[in-house]
């Protein structure tokens, strides 16, 4: 099965994906315009249900709203119980990649199979304290592994360096095809070590959204990992 949008993100990596959790939802169209003018090539959307994690964010309505405003890939990260129940809803809303947490299910395989049935790449995520052995059996069935460098639930947490060793563990199990993603505490002090450990997609929140100029923030982060800013033509019509 071909997964063109995930492949495009990987081929541009190490690539920064803004975590939209911290964006200004009161002016979403303007936020997307600023980010795309700054050169982003995709978005990371954190869905929290208030059950699997203590925080509550948004659901498929916001995913659908963002889908209407951009053609860029939407990397949807489900931090929720019973993800299988909602795979079709998020696929219908416009997700291009769906990732769920191994800790949220007894058996991850039916969720992976449902994501694949919708023609989408499946991602498996684990929190910072969860060992890679938790997902070893299903890693070969996934297109993406998201290694949280914090405990999922809130932004602004400190990066946990012990997670860096997990990237090689996943690569040894799943081989070169799987895409490696990191989320949590990624900023100009931590982004280089994450990229050097093997992370190809780097999810960034406060290090972008707490800055006055998104382009300057992205340029600085890209310079740390040796990237030139990725310039793209804005696709939301702004």
Active site (annotated) includes residue 92: no
Question: CATH for 4-224, among 3.40.50.300, 1.10.40.60, 3.40.50.1000, 3.20.20.70?
Answer: 3.20.20.70
Residues for the chain: how many in total? 238
Nearest-angstrom CA–CA distance, 179 and 23 = 25
What are the structural domain ranges in the chain? 4-224
Active site (annotated) includes residue 88: no
Could you tell me the mean pLDDT of each successive run of 10 residues in the chain, 238 residues long? 80 91 91 96 93 83 96 96 97 98 97 98 96 97 94 70 95 96 93 95 94 95 75 36
Indicate which residue of 46, 49, 75, 96 is catalytic.
46
| Residue 154 confidence (pLDDT) | 58
Nearest-angstrom CA–CA distance, 138 and 140 = 6
Indicate which residue of 106, 183, 213, 219 is catalytic.
183
Nearest to 43 by CA among 96, 79, 4, 112: 96
| Residue 155 confidence (pLDDT) | 55
Residue whose structure tokens are 């063109």: 4
pLDDT in tens, 201-232: 999 999 999 999 999 999 999 999 887 444 33
């Amino acid at each position: 099965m071909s997964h063109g949008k995930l492949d495009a993100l990987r081929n541009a990596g190490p690539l920064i994906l803004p975590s939209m959790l911290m964006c200004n939802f009161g002016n979403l169209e303007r936020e997307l315009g600023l980010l795309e003018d700054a050169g982003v090539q995709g978005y990371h959307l954190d869905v929290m249900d208030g059950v699997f994690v203590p925080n509550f964010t948004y659901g498929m309505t916001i995913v659908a709203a963002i889908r209407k405003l951009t053609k860029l890939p939407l990397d949807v990260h489900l931090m929720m119980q019973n993800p299988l129940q909602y795979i079709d809803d998020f696929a219908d809303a416009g997700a291009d990649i769906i990732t769920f947490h191994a800790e949220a299910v007894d058996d991850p395989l039916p969720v992976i199979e449902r994501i694949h049935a919708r023609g989408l790449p499946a991602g498996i995520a684990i929190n910072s304290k969860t060992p890679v052995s938790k997902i070893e059996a299903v890693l070969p069935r996934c297109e993406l592994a998201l290694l949280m460098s914090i405990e999922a639930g809130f932004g602004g947490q400190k990066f946990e360096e012990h997670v860096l060793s997990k990237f090689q563990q996943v690569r040894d199990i799943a081989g070169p095809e799987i895409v490696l993603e990191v989320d949590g505490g990624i900023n100009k002090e931590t982004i280089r070590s994450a990229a050097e450990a093997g992370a190809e997609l780097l999810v960034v929140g406060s290090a972008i959204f707490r800055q006055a100029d998104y382009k300057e923030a992205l340029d600085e982060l890209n310079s740390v990992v040796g990237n030139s800013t990725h310039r793209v033509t804005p696709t939301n019509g702004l």
